[in-house]
Amino acid sequence: MTNIYSKAWCWQHKGEPGELILKDFKLRDLEEDEILVQNSVIGLNPVDWKLISSGNPSWNKNQIPGVDGAGIVVKTGSKMKQMQIGARVCYHSDLTQQGSFATHTIIKGNRCMQIPETLSNFAAAAFPCPTLTAWQSFCKIPDLVNKNVLISGAGGSVGYLLTQLALNAGAKVYVTSDVHHHHEYYKMGVVKAVDYKNNNWNHEIKEILHGNLFDVIFDTVSGAHAASLLPLIAYYGHMVAIQDRVAENTLPPFTTCVSLHEIALGAFHQYATNRQIAQLMEDGENLLQQISNGKLKQRDQKINSFENLPAHLADMKKNNSYHKYLIEL
């Protein structure tokens, strides 16, 4: 490889975003199935500050965090010649490798998505983690037409996209979110939006169902929260736990026979087959096109510079904002 130098925000130890250190380093040679992306925009996600806080079993000092990025391909491995130099791509990176908090990122060539010509790099960098997570969650359920669906914690990027996917599939959608978002959800076609801060929200929403229960619940809050919602699910219904997993089905056996589903987008890097990876990237490109043509909407963006990445990530953590935080290079 021609000598290429990069700047990256590097993790030193379990701590806060502000403890990341900016370093210069020479990029290693590419493996035959890898490509080098020069990042244009980096997408920040809650998983980033959570991992900075807790670490990862595969991380050592000077690990580069970050899962989402968008940019141009500047070099390819020997088996990636079909990938055009200069192509615009976005990606979700493998947590066991160096991530996107850098001017350049090396990724597997089969794990990126082509960006539609009419879509900005900002929209593309905001895409991978929340949208692919929402998509994997949506795909757990075979048919949503006329089903009663609850999306718990719909205010974040995952819940926002999942709400649109469920509505587009013909579901009767109910959401819990901050009241700030209710007007928009009603405009989308949501049946009922309730304030998750109201301790009696589940009683309020059960009254609206007139004695019925939910066919599907998508929970974006926590495994424990998802478990607490199991009594709201109808016979042979589904719980899709997006944040953590439901450790145990607390419902009596042989009653409502609820199915439990777990979601872990990052696990595809280690456990998906090449065929599954190719399908996920193809689905991702189709979703990018739907964002490009306006069929799907993303959260409003808050953009900052690469030099301010730690502060921008710390601001996202502190404020639990429903904006999408991005870094422009």
Q: What is the pLDDT of residues 50-87, one digit of tens each?
A: 999 999 999 999 999 999 999 999 999 999 988 999 99
User: What pLDDT score does 2 carry?
Assistant: 57
Q: Is 172 in contact with 191 (CB distance < 8 Å)? A: yes
Report the amino acid identity of residue 221. Answer: V
Q: Are 152 and 257 found together in one domain?
A: yes
In whole angstroms, what is the distance from residue 255 CA to residue 58 CA? 42
Residue 206 resides in a domain: yes
Residues 158 and 217 in one domain: yes
* Residue that has been written with the tokens 């439990």 in this structure: 260
Residue 134 lies in a domain: no
Q: Mean per-residue pLDDT for 42-47?
A: 97
| Residues 298 and 195 occupy one common structural domain | no
What is the number of domains present in the chain?
2
Q: Which of 115, 160, 92, 166 is nearest to 287 (CA)?
A: 115
Query: Are 220 and 296 in the same domain?
Result: no
User: What is the reported pTM?
Assistant: 0.96
Report, as an integer, the average pLDDT of 95-120: 97
Decide if pLDDT at 321 tops 80. no
Establish if 65 belongs to a structural domain.
yes
| Residue 82 in domain | yes
pLDDT at 203: 80
* HEC string for the chain: CCCCEEEEEEECCCCCHHHCEEEEEECCCCCCCEEEEEEEEEECCHHHHHHHHHCCCCCCCCECCCCEEEEEEEEECCCCCCCCCCCEEEEECCCCCCCCCECEEEEECCCEEECCCCCCHHHHHCCHHHHHHHHHHHHCCCCCCCCEEEEECCCCHHHHHHHHHHHHCCCEEEEEECHHHHHHHHHHCCCEEEECCCCCHHHHHHHHCCCCCEEEEEECCCHHHHHHCHHHEEEEEEEEECCCCCCCCCCCCCCCCCEEEECCHHHHHHHCCHHHHHHHHHHHHHHHHHHHCCCCCCCCEEEEEHHHHHHHHHHHHHHCCCCEEEEEC
Using only C-alpha atoms, the chain has a radius of gyration, in whole angstroms, of 20
Residue ending a domain, among 262, 282, 312, is 262
Q: Do 44 and 80 lie in a common domain?
A: yes
| Residue 254 reports pLDDT greater than 80 | yes
CATH number at residue 234: 3.40.50.720
CA torsion, ordered 230, 54, 18, 321, to nearest 10 deg: -10
Tell me the residue range of the domain where 148 lies: 141-262
312: domain CATH number?
3.90.180.10
Instruction: Please identify, among 262, 286, 315, the residue that sits at the C-terminal boundary of a domain.
Output: 262
36 in the same domain as 86: yes
Return the closest-CA partner of residue 103 out of 202, 22, 195, 28.
22
Domain end, chosen from 211, 231, 262, is at 262
Average pLDDT of the chain is 95
Query: Which neighbouring-strand residues pair with 11?
Result: 63
In a domain, 135, yes or no: no
Is residue 23 domain-shared with residue 77, that is, in the same domain? yes
* Residue 226 and residue 282 share a domain: no
Residues 238 and 277 in one domain: no
Residue 136 lies in a domain: no
User: Where does residue 73 fall: left (phi above 0), alpha (psi -120 to 50 degrees), or beta otherwise?
Assistant: beta
> Both 32 and 82 in a single domain?
yes
Confidence of residue 1 (pLDDT cuts 50, 70, 90): very low
Q: How confident is the model at residue 212 (pLDDT cuts 50, 70, 90)?
A: confident
**Residue 299 lies inside a defined structural domain of this protein:** yes
pLDDT digits (tens, 9 = 90+) for 255-291: 999 999 999 999 999 999 999 999 999 999 999 999 9
| Same domain, residue pair 220 and 281 | no
Task: Verify that 145 and 64 share a domain, yes or no.
Answer: no
Q: What are the tens digits of pLDDT across the range 108-167?
A: 999 999 999 999 999 999 999 999 999 999 999 999 999 999 999 999 999 999 999 999
220 in a domain, yes or no? yes
